Amino acid sequence: MAGRDHDAMGVCRASLAGFATRAWSAIIMKPCRFRRSNILLTLTLWAFASGCGPLRGPVTAEQRDLYERAKALLLRAAQSDLDVVAANAFEALVEVAPDEAAPYFRAALDSPLPLVRFAGCVALGDIRERSAAGAIRRLLNDRRPRVRLAAAYALYRCGQQGHAKLLVDTLNTHPDENMRSDAALLIGRLDEPRALKRLKLAARREKSGKVAAHIFTAMARLGDRAALDELIRRVVQSDQVSKIVALQGLVELGRKEALEAFLYTLRDEGDYIETRLLAARGLGRIGDASGYQLAMANIDYRAADPTDQMRVRSMAAMALGAIGRAEALPALKRLAEDESDPRTQVAACYAICRIMQPGR
C-alpha cells in the first residue's frame, strides 16, 4: 500500500513483532543463526497474548514430533541473550509450556536487560508464581519505570494487592503515553472487577486515542459491554493508529460480538495487509476461518524491507495458528525451517504449538 502512515506502521512494528531464538535441533528442522540487526528496537509484548483455535482431527506421530520440536525451540529462546527474543518467548511460553518455562521466567528477574526483567515479571504474574514474590519485590525499586510497573502487576497477581496503586497512578498521571498504555494493559490483566471504576474515570480524561483504546480493552476484559462496543466502533471509524490498537484489543478479547468488525477489516483490500491479517487472527479466535486463504497467501510474503517481510510472515503464521487447521502445519513447518529471519521461525513455532496444544 503506497504512502503508509508513519505512526500506524510504528504501531505495527512495535506490537506485531515476531520472535527469534537459538536453534532447531535434529532431523526435520535446520539451525538458525542470530543477528542483532534483525531485532526491532521497540516492542509491545501483547502480540502473542491471545489464544488460538484447536487442532481438528486425530494427531499423527509426525505432528506430535513437530509440536515437541516447536516447543523446544521456544524454551531455548527463553534463554537467549537477546532481549526481544527472550521477552517474546516468555509471552508464548505462558500459554504453551508455563510449568517448564517457570525457571526461565524467574531467572529473568536478574537479567541486566530491562526488557527481559519486564517480561519475566509479567510472565510470573500471568502464572501466579507466588514462590517468586520475594524476588519480584526487589524490582519495585528497579531504575526502569516499566520494570517497576511489571513488578507491581506480578505482585498483585501473586496475592500482594497493595502495589496496584503504582499502576493506577501511572495510568492517571504519567506524561508518556506508552507508559500509560502499559499501565492500562496490566490493570486489565489483573482480572480485578474493582478496577473498572478507575478505568472508566481514566477513559474520560485520556486524550490519546492509542491509550484510550488500551483502556477500553482493559474495561471490556472486565466485562464492560459499552467498552467492547467502543472498540468495535473504533475499528471502523477511527484513525489508523487507534484502529490497530482497538483491533489488537478485540483479538485479545476473542469475543464473537467483534465478528462484523473483523470481517469488515479482512475484506478491505485497501487496508494494510498486516491489519487484515490481524483481523484474520481475530476471526480464527472466534471460530471463523474466513481469513485462512489470506494467511496462506502471505506465509511466504516477500518485501525489500526485511522488517516488513518478517512482520507480514509472522502475522500470517499467527493467523494460521488461531484458525487451527492442521493443513496449515506444512506451511508453518516450512517457515520454521527458513533461516532468513529467526523471528519468523519462532512465530511459526508458536503457531505450531497453538494448533497442536494438547487438550485444545
Q: Is the pTM of this model over 0.85?
A: no
Number of domains in the chain: 1
Residue holding cell 472498540? Answer: 231
- Between CA 341 and CA 122 the distance in angstroms is 26
Instruction: Determine the Cα angle at 349 with ends 313 and 42, to 5°.
Output: 60
CA 136 vs CA 40, 129, 162, 259: distances in Å: 27, 10, 14, 39
Residue 108 covered by a domain:
yes
- Between CA 180 and CA 355 the distance in angstroms is 33
What's the pLDDT score for residue 223?
A: 95
Residue 152 covered by a domain:
yes
DSSP class of residue 53 equals P
Which parts of 174-258 fold into alpha helices (H)?
177-189, 196-205, 209-221, 225-237, 240-253
Residue 275 covered by a domain:
yes
What's the pLDDT score for residue 19?
A: 30
Residue 127 covered by a domain:
yes
What's the pLDDT score for residue 231?
A: 97
281 in Cβ contact with 50 (< 8 Å): yes
What's the pLDDT score for residue 345?
A: 83
Residue 1 covered by a domain:
no
Residue 64 covered by a domain:
yes
Distance, CA of 303 to chain centre: 23
What's the pLDDT score for residue 53?
A: 47
Listed in sequence order, the residues at least 6 apart from 344 whose beta carbon sits closer than 8 Å to its beta carbon are 18, 309, 310, 313, 314, 317, 335, 338
Read off the C-alpha cell for 158: 501473586
The domain spanning residue 75 has which CATH number?
1.25.10.10
- Between CA 237 and CA 220 the distance in angstroms is 18
Read off the C-alpha cell for 98: 508455563
What's the pLDDT score for residue 51?
A: 52
Residue 28 covered by a domain:
yes
- Between CA 184 and CA 202 the distance in angstroms is 9
Look at residues 190, 184, 188 and name the one whose alpha carbon lies nearest to residue 126: 190
- Between CA 312 and CA 115 the distance in angstroms is 24
Give the H or E element holding residue 281: helix 273-285
Whole domain around residue 91: which residue ranges?
6-356
Residue 244 covered by a domain:
yes
* Per-run averaged pLDDT (10 residues), the chain, 360 residues: 45 39 27 30 42 60 91 90 85 94 98 98 98 98 98 97 94 97 96 95 96 97 97 89 94 97 96 96 98 98 93 96 96 87 84 80
